[in-house]
Amino acid sequence: MKPTLLILAAGMGSRYGGLKQIDPIGPHGEAIIDYSIYDAMGAGFGKIVFVIRHDLESSFRESIGRKVESQIAVEYAYQELNHLPMGFTLPLHRQRPWGTGHAVLVARDIIHEPFAVINADDFYGAISYKLLSDYLKTTQGNNYALVGFVLRNTLSKFGTVARGICQCNEQNFIHQVVEVTSIEPDGEQAKYLDEIGQPQRLSGNEVVSMNTWGFTPLIFEQLDCLFTEFLQAHGNEPKAEFYIPAAINTLIARGQAQVKVLPSQDSWFGMTYQEDKPHVMKSIQELTAKGLYP
């Protein structure tokens, strides 16, 4: 059975200032998501599932969905605030999304095979999809994967970013993903401010998560349990979110999953800020000129 690609496309880019998932950046108006789907199809994925919001459905189907549906099987899942486990109701003042872990969970009734998870607005490169496809065709149970990128290949020149730094053993299995915020480049290295505002340095060689995960359907049962725990502890906090890395850390700590890092030397790029767009467009043009894309 061919693996499925789950694309998280429900969010609006608050720092970017618009719906960057469908912002044209290619030579003929292609969005980053078009390149992701092209690479996934080339790597042997058999179905695309988009996680979107109902209020974005019309524009998303018009800009992305209709093009893709003629090339590969497509389904939609909807991330809404009131999509909660039985026994829970939406808190009165909740407006913020429930997070990436919740976004994956809303696709549980659609996906019944091993699958990869990506962000709609990130460019990961063809190698990432090949690594995930090969892994997902053989994995089973609670054996998961993450494509890991070199930190310096994932930074923006126009502002700080948050990255999940992977702490691994000698066999490249994760024992913890540490979320570090406010990272910015510093030559070939990087720097950030810690929780008390003190500057800290990073080598730039750290392996980081860019939300490129490989799962089996077992993850849905596990996320369902963890999301329930999250709601019990933080459901009334208006800004608390249920993130994939935090869920994975919990599963690893409890011995309920193992996650192997699949290293990639490709340069990730995305549009965190509006100023990133010219760089992304230039990078796409260079890859097209090399013949990597038609």
Backbone angles phi, psi at 268, to 5 degrees: -70, 145
16 pLDDT more than 50: no
- Give dist(CA 46, CA 6) in Å, integer: 11
**pLDDT band at residue 23, thresholds of 50, 70 and 90?**
confident
Q: Do residues 272 and 161 make contact, with C-beta atoms less than 8 angstroms apart? A: yes
pLDDT average, residue stretch 272-277: 82
- Give dist(CA 267, CA 263) in Å, integer: 12
Give me the domain span that covers residue 13: 4-289
Residue 185, in any domain of the structure: yes
Could you write out the three-class secondary structure of 19-42? CHHHCCCCCCCCCHHHHHHHHHHH
**DSSP conformation letters of 158-173:** SS-EEEEEEEE-TTSB
> What total number of domains does the chain contain?
1
Residue 212, in any domain of the structure: yes
Please classify residue 4 by burial: count the beta carbons closer than 10 Å to its beta carbon, then call 0-12 exposed, 13-18 middle and 19+ buried. buried
Tell me, what amino acid is at 135? Y
Residue 117, in any domain of the structure: yes
pLDDT in tens, 141-157: 999 999 999 999 999 88
Residue 127, in any domain of the structure: yes
Name 173's bridge partners. 260
User: Which pLDDT value is given to residue 219?
Assistant: 98
Residue in the structure block whose two tokens are 């995305």: 270
Domain CATH number, residue 142: 3.90.550.10
Q: Do residues 37 and 5 make contact, with C-beta atoms less than 8 angstroms apart? A: yes
Tell me, what amino acid is at 117? V
Residue 100, in any domain of the structure: yes
pLDDT average, residue stretch 247-270: 93
User: Which pLDDT value is given to residue 96?
Assistant: 85
Q: Residue 157 gets which letter from DSSP? A: S
- Give dist(CA 78, CA 82) in Å, integer: 11
14 pLDDT more than 60: no
pLDDT average, residue stretch 178-203: 92
Residue 294, in any domain of the structure: no
User: Which pLDDT value is given to residue 18?
Assistant: 54
When the pLDDT of each residue in the chain is averaged and rounded to a whole number, the result is: 91
CA-angle at 265, arms to 260 and 267, nearest 5°:
120
Q: Do residues 147 and 266 make contact, with C-beta atoms less than 8 angstroms apart? A: no
**pLDDT band at residue 13, thresholds of 50, 70 and 90?**
very low
State both tokens at 14: 């608050």
- Give dist(CA 103, CA 10) in Å, integer: 8
Residue 177, in any domain of the structure: yes
Residue 38, in any domain of the structure: yes
User: Which pLDDT value is given to residue 19?
Assistant: 62
